[in-house]
Chain A
Amino acid sequence: MNRYRGILIKTFLIAAAGIFAAPVYGQDAKLDLGHLDGLAAKASQVIDVTVDQKVINLALKFLSEKRSPDEAKIKEIISGLKGVYVKSFEFEKEGEYSMTDIESVRNQLKTPAWAMIVGVSSKNKGENVDVYLATTGERVDGVVVIASDPKHLTVVDMVGSIDPEKISELAGHYGMPKLDLIFHKKGKE
């Protein structure tokens, strides 16, 4: 009986893990960045941008395929986005934010849905840039960038069904890099 109960509990736990994990896959890859708002009081400059589906839909209305081919292309590329969330802080002096603040973001990216594809550190300058991707097969569901140095902290969360080929088309429109190379790097790992 105890053995049977043990199996049942394990099964339940696995199912529960699946249930809790599923929302990460099925849900938008939107992180909770609200805990970073406390840094605003210490920052000399703050950028806080929330572009959710509603704003994107409005922006899509503004773009007109008839006005120019550029706008038509941008409209097509952006149509897969569900949200872009930015929190960026600049501080007067070092030490105004802690590793805990960054870890609270990184912890949300430690699920199977996310993979860090770029992790760059410069010990001399104290700069770090991490890029995470959430993918479903070949499709990218989200991109997160965490960039920090002693006096700056920026977190960018892009959510939505993003086609890597279309992202690369953004290069030159929005200065986007050729992320497909990054994706290929990830695939090789």
Chain B
Amino acid sequence: MSEAAAERPEDVLARSAGGDPSAFESIVREHQGMVFSMAYHFLRNRALAEELAQDVFLSLYQNISAIKSPAHLVHWLRRVTSHRCLDQARRQKLRSHLSLEAVQEPAVMHAQPDVILSRRLARMVSSLPEKARMVVILRYQEDLHPFEIAEVLEMPINTVKSHLRRSLAMLREKLSATMGERSYE
């Protein structure tokens, strides 16, 4: 176990705020998956997602002294990443290509995870409107409750719930059409 890993997160944060590059590296490695995944699931492009994630960490470096605790750090990263993604989408008027063809198929259950279904579902998510998309990502990637999502996105909680409800209904409908009958009710 590395020295950084044995340290308390608060101490790593303090060292990083003091300008210790190894401490900041430790923070990057710990949270890069979260930040990258949020960007990737939103943008559906690895290169763009990595660039956005890099920007977020550079911004973190500049503002590390404002981070009060490890929990605050996670919240800050989620908030900044979400807003950067939304800004990026607005700039690019991003709309993922989504093939919505329905194939009436019998439901097929697989013991192994269905990689291709996951990828299709992830693409369906990326075709949702931007704010709804980020709500779904925060809900299912980060496992946040609606009130936490509301805090991150600075959005009323009822709006979060509305986005979730509509998005799930849309995804359910598309998947039911693809997978057949009542698989996703």
Contacts and interface: CB of A to CB of B under 8 A. Distances in A.
A171 B115 CA distance: 10
A45 B115 contact: no
Contacts of B103: 47, 88, 90, 154
Contacts of B74: none
B71 interface: no
B17 to A, nearest CB: 34
A46 B112 contact: no
B102 interface: yes
Q: How large is the interface on B (under 10, 10 to 19, 20 to 34, 35 or more residues)?
A: 10 to 19
Interface in B95-109: 99, 101-104, 108
B107 to A, nearest CB: 12
Contact of B104 (A46, A152, A175): A152
A154 B111 CA distance: 25
A46 B104 CA distance: 11
Contact of A174 (B99, B101, B104, B116): B116
A154 B117 CA distance: 19
Given A175-B108, A175-B110, A45 B116 contact: no
Contacts of A175: 108, 110, 114, 116-117
A93 interface: no
A91 B102 CA distance: 11
Contacts of B113: 172
A90 B104 contact: yes
A151 B105 CA distance: 12
Nearest to A44: B102
A165 B142 CA distance: 38
A42 interface: no
Contacts of B116: 173-175
Contacts of A154: 103
A173 B104 contact: no
A70 interface: yes
B110 A45 contact: no
A75 to B, nearest CB: 14
Contacts of A45: 101-102
Interface string A115-159: 000000000000000000000000000000000000110100000
B110 A88 contact: no
Contacts of B117: 175
Interface of A: 45-47, 70, 88, 90, 151-152, 154, 171-175
Given A45-B102, A70-B115, 8 more contacts: A46-B101, A90-B104, A172-B112, A172-B115, A174-B116, A175-B108, A175-B116, A175-B117
17 contacts: A45-B101, A45-B102, A47-B99, A47-B103, A88-B101, A151-B104, A171-B112, A172-B111, A172-B112, A172-B113, A172-B115, A173-B115, A173-B116, A174-B116, A175-B108, A175-B110, A175-B116
